[in-house]
Structure 1
Amino acid sequence: MTSTQWRAFAAAATTVVLWASAFVSIRSAGADYSPGALALGRLLAGALVLGVICAVRREGPPPRAAWPGIAISGLLWFGLYMVVLNWGEQKVDAGTAALVVNVGPLVMALLAGWLLKEGLPPRLLAGMGVSFAGAAVVGLSMSGEGSASVLGVLLCLLAAVSYAGGVVAQKPALRYASALQVTTWGCVIGAVACLPFVGVLVREAAEAPLSATLNMVYLGVFPTALAFTTWAYALARTTAGKMGATTYAVPAIVVLMSWLLLDEVPGWLTMLGGVICLAGVAVSRSRSRTPAREDRTGVTDAPADRADDGVRPAQPRASREP
């Protein structure tokens, strides 16, 4: 594995761990903040941190060619996804939410195979099938009787579809702009889309306990500003399908975090589901013994190190355009 591949793997692992921690913070902050206000507060905190980093690094606005993908991902993933996920988690238990939202990587792989011409490698499909089975086991083991609602399930399904669509839209933008630029402006667009909730946020922030507000800020700084940037960095160096499959490790890590941080001892069925999730991720990320070939999007499974240490993806050459 090359140094660039190791950095991409480390970025993906960072994303998965921080996104797993977000479930704990959302559950805590959601008791005092409504879905729209929590999403807006999280996005404002993330946009502020990312804006400071861009200023320090002197990163200007992204090129014009990157804007369509950034705008769509900002509206779908940073905006719509965060609001409906927060809302959905108030209507269903954590297990049901995790199970329904995990439809997202499957939708992502199908959309990427169709729109981005990534194809559907057998190992990826097999790994996603195994991981989804593990997510189903985790979800069913954590679901409480009568705790789910039709509205809650529909909201979680909408979150899954908007998440998948946002990632697929983001992938082409990373050919023209850096991971930091794509994440920063996507976060800004998401925050602008959530501005109708500003009055609710101000009112609830005045009444919420400090712990809930700190959880909201944490969501903005780490699972949003940092994790979405590391996600974009890794996404620029692999396919959307493989990145989606990697997120199936989230349920297993959530179970582990709940055990260590919240003293919630998981049952044997929950632990089994977590192990199955991780096994599926390993299968989907494994490589065949044949040499890596360039995919139709211009990204290889084993990209060479870039001159700028991987911060900004190289501009695509005309001869590699489809």
Structure 2
Amino acid sequence: MPLKHSALAVVVMVIWGANFVVIDEGLADVPPLLFLSFRFVLVAFPLVFFIPRPTAGWRAVVAVGAFMSLGQFGLLYVALDLGMPSGLASLILQAHVIMTIVIAAVVLRESPTRRQAIGAAIGTIGLLVVVIAHDATAPVVPVLVMLGAALSWATGNVVARRAGVASGLSLVVWSALVVPVPALILSLVVDGPADVGRAVTHLSAVAVASTVYTAIGASLIGYGIWNSLLARHAASAVVPFVLLVPVVGILAAWLVQDEVPTVLELVGGAVMLLGVATATVTRTRRAEPISPSVPVESALPTR
């Protein structure tokens, strides 16, 4: 892949890695599910009036939006609101790669290669170390919610794979329509009309900037570049750049929020990323991963 395109891939990883801190900062003023609704309104409108509908059927588009956007990001926002460290969240979400391999093997009968199976095993061990290490210093509930976010993303990947949904900006935009209304209704039920009304009428500059960054930067610009790279190069050349997301996420959380993971969390994270790398970094197309070829945001991923 040319140096220019590699640089663009790195830029996207920086945008996505910093996204976790940006979301966390915005949640200080807005309930998580209401904030999610704001984000996907901006992702969908006004582009939905100008971008053609995906060639996939409505059921596939709705399913992708439900799992990849509503499920994944709804649980991510809730986990961050419950106190999940943003840097660690960027790491745990990468578990979706391992989960996708397992779910695809069960549901789609796609037998993983030996390399993918080894990578999934290594990644699972690393993930368990991270969970145990975090549980020793903080409540484990946010971690479990984050694992739910990764599972939702992985499920969406398999749904998209089964339906033959191609990665594209149209899918990101049209599947975003699934999110705003359910997220708003859930926020009204969970947070109450009074808190929702107060948040809407007292939006801070940080909340507005965070919404713009996550919607336009992470979703539209990030996936516009990402999808163009996947269209020009083999997935095996592009996908490994995703491993930079948790590195950027942890660094951004350290610089902005003074979040310092424990040594055991870092060790577990390193083992987990080694497993993900083993499963995804290949020299041939034959062992290309399923998940990262589908946008994170619609995705995405977003993820």
How far did 1:171 drift? 3.2
Relative to the length of structure 1, the TM-score reads 0.68
Cα distance change of structure 1 residues 147 and 222 upon mapping to structure 2, 3 Å threshold = same
Alignment match of 2:206 (pick from 211, 228, 233): 211
2:221 match: 226
Instruction: Give the one of 161, 175, 185 matched to 1:186.
Output: 175
Which residue pairs with 1:85 in the alignment? 76
Query: What residue in structure 1 maps to residue 157 of structure 2?
Result: 167
**CA spacing shift, 1:171–1:228, aligned 2, 3 Å:** farther
Would the aligned equivalents of 2:65 and 2:177 in 1 still touch at CA under 8 Å?
Answer: yes
Spell out the pairing of 1:218-297 with structure 2 (5 A cutoff): 218-229=213-224, 238=235, 247=242, 249-262=244-257, 264=259, 269=264, 271-273=266-268, 275-287=270-282, 292-293=285-286
Where do 5+ consecutive residues of structure 2 fail to align?
294-303
1:99 shift after superposition: 6.6
Q: CA deviation at 1:144?
A: 6.3
1:105 to 97, 100, 114: 97
Which letter does structure 2 place at the counterpart of 1:191?
A: P
Counterpart amino acid of 2:206? S
Shift of 1:28: 0.9
- When residues 66 and 114 of structure 1 are mapped into structure 2, their CA distance, relative to the original with a 3 A threshold, is farther
Structure 1 stretches lacking a partner, 5+ long: 302-322
CA–CA separation in structure 2 for the residues paired with 1:137 and 1:232: 33
Distance in 1, matches of 2:9 and 2:162, equals 18
Q: State the one-letter code of the partner of 1:86.
A: Y
Change (3 A) 1:283 1:156: closer
SS of the residue 1:187 aligns to: helix
Change (3 A) 1:264 1:145: closer
Mapped partners of 1:43, 1:275: distance in 2:
32
CA contact (8 A) 1:137 1:273 kept: yes
* Contact 1:76/1:166, CA 8 A, preserved across alignment: yes
- Could you say if the C-alpha distance between residues 74 and 26 of structure 1 is closer, same or farther in structure 2, counting changes exceeding 3 Å? same
Instruction: Measure how far apart 1:82 and its partner are.
Output: 1.9
Q: Tell me which amino acid in the other structure corresponds to 1:162.
A: S
Corresponding position: 1:70 with 2:67: no
Report 1 or 2 for greater relative contact order, CA contacts < 8 Å, sequence distance ≥ 6. 2
The Cα of 1:24 is off from its aligned counterpart by: 0.4
| Deviation readout 1:151-184 (Å, 9 max, x if unpaired) | x454333322211111222235555x56011111
Q: Which residue identity lines up with residue 188 of structure 1 in the other structure?
A: L
Which structure: larger Rg? 1
The alignment-based identity, stated in percent, is 25
SS state at 1:60 partner = coil
How much has 1:44 moved relative to structure 2? Answer: 1.2
1:177-200 deviation digits (Å, cap 9, x = unpaired) = 560111111112222432424866
Task: For 1:12-31, list aligned pairs within 5 A.
Answer: 16-31=13-28
Do 1:137 and 1:269's aligned partners in 2 also have CA atoms closer than 8 Å? yes
Cα distance between partner residues in 1 of 2:138 and 2:264? 20
Instruction: Give CA deviations for 1:68-116 in whole Å, capped at 9, x if unaligned.
Output: 3211011122112222221122334327756764443222112223444
Offset at residue 46 of structure 1 (A): 1.7
In the aligned structure 2, how far is the partner of 1:17 from the partner of 1:132? 25
Q: Partners in 2 of 1:136 and 1:178 — Cα distance?
A: 31
Stretch deviating more after TM superposition (103-112 or 191-200):
191-200
Q: 8 Å contact 1:99–1:139 — kept in the other structure?
A: no
The answer as to whether partners of 1:87 and 1:155 remain within 8 angstroms in 2 is yes
1 CA distance for matches of 2:171 and 2:11? 18
What amino acid is aligned across from residue 254 of structure 2 in structure 1? Answer: W
Deviation, 1:204, is 0.3
- Match for residue 42 of structure 2? 45
Q: Which residue pairs with 2:296 in the alignment? A: none
C-alpha separation between the residues in 1 aligned to 2:99 and 2:273?
Answer: 19
Shift of 1:61: 1.7
User: Amino acid of the residue matched to residue 169 of structure 1?
Assistant: V
- Alpha-carbon distance change, 253 to 156 in structure 1, aligned in 2, over 3 angstroms: same
Looking at structure 2, the residues matched to 66 and 10 of structure 1 have their Cα atoms a distance apart, in angstroms, of 35
Tell me the residue number matched to 1:318: none
Q: Distance in 1 between matches of 2:150 and 2:216?
A: 22
Q: How many residue pairs align between the two structures?
A: 280
- 1:49, distance to aligned residue in structure 2 (A): 6.3
Q: 1:24 to 1:49 in 2, by over 3 A?
A: farther
Moved more, 255-264 or 17-26: 255-264
Q: Deviations over 1:15-53 (max 9, x none)?
A: 5433321210122111211121111011112223644xx
